[in-house]
Amino acid sequence: MKTVVLYILLMFTAAVSAQEKDKFLPKGNESFSEKKYAEAEADYRVSQSKTPKYAVSSYNLGNAIYRQNVISEAKYPYLKAIESAQTRPQKHKAFHNLGNVFMKEKKYTEAVESYKNALRNDPSDEETRYNFALAKKMLKDNPPPKDDKKKDEKKKDDKKDKKDDKKDDKKEGDKDKKDDQKDGDKDKDDKKEGDKDKKDGKGKDDPKPGQPKPQPGDIPKERLQNLMDAVNNEEKKVQDKVNAQKVKGRPVKTEKDW
């Protein structure tokens, strides 16, 4: 029993000692009461860094920032105060002021939730109850955008994409059709050329007037000349080889030694 009492006394002494060392919290309160909110903010920030587990520094810091009309930044100290709060009154005040921030930001859904949490910690506060009712009315008059609107926009985008795809397919089809038409026109031209040759009775390899028609098995003159030239070239190569062998077989005179 004595050990338990001693432990409690030590904890109480440590808490008092920590608060005595924190001289910035009372300085911040003094500046706040004199409406020197920037100076109060500076002192509260130092106090918060020295005693991060105590909600009062964070809560007062939020108030100092809020009074400087930096509304959105004030919610972070309030959230920190809610996290560190040990009592219901502390949580109630932090949630209430957090609701005020959301009302200023026109985030009525979040404001309703914050005031609701404040009332859970202190149902008797009439000011919180009034703000809660006002936040609900503002939320009703300004409902958040529904997901249906996003779905409609997505459907529009999908329809647009499909329409663009159809246009591309149509363009591709028209291009293929034009290419086929060109090929058809080319075939027609070739056919006309062939019909013309057939009609004239002339072809590429037809003999000129006054020349006899080639018989089956005959070699065209031009090709025959090419073959003759190839044979002559081969004969020349063979002759050159024979002459080289003859030269190789002759004795070669060498230089005389000294």
Q: Give the per-residue pLDDT at 170.
A: 60
Q: Which CATH class is domain 7-141?
A: mainly alpha
pLDDT score of 31:
95
Please give the pLDDT value at position 21: 73
Percent of the chain with pLDDT over 90: 45
Model confidence pLDDT, tens digit, residues 15-48: 444 555 789 999 999 999 999 999 999 999 999 9
Mean pLDDT score, 191-209:
49
Instruction: Judge whether residue 200 has pLDDT over 50.
Output: no
pLDDT band (50, 70, 90) for residue 192: low
Write the DSSP assignment of 68-121 as a string of letters: TT-HHHHHHHHHHHHHH--SHHHHHHHHHHHHHHHHHTT-HHHHHHHHHHHHHH
Q: Each residue of 61-86: pLDDT tens digit?
A: 999 999 999 999 999 999 999 999 99
Q: How many helices (H) does the chain have, and how many strands (E)? A: 10, 0
**Whole-model pTM over 0.85:** no
Give the contacts of 90 (CB within 8 A, at least 6 positions apart). 55, 56, 59, 81
Exposure letters 173-190 (e unless 16+ CB within 10 A, then b): eeeeeeeeeeeeeeeeee
Q: Crossing angle, helix 88-104 and helix 126-141, to 10 degrees? A: 30
CA distance 166 to 52: 63
- Please compute the mean of the pLDDT values over residues 221-235 and round it to a whole number: 66
Contact 102, 116 (CB under 8 A): no
- SS3 of residue 249 by DSSP: helix
Amino acid, res. 107: K
- Residue 220: per-residue pLDDT: 57
Greatest extent of the chain over all pairs of C-alpha atoms, in Å: 144
Position 36, amino acid:
K
Question: Is pLDDT of 3 > 50?
Answer: no
Q: Residue 16's pLDDT is what? A: 46
pLDDT of 186 strictly over 60:
no
Q: What ranges do the domains of the chain cover?
A: 7-141, 145-204
- Give the closest residue to 35 by CA, choosing from 74, 67, 61: 67
Give the DSSP H/E element, type plus range, for residue 138: helix 126-141
**125-143 b/e (C-beta count within 10 Å ≥ 16 → b):** beebeebbebbeeebeeee
Give me the chain's average pLDDT, please: 74
Q: Which of 26-35, 106-115, 200-209 has the lowest mean pLDDT?
A: 200-209
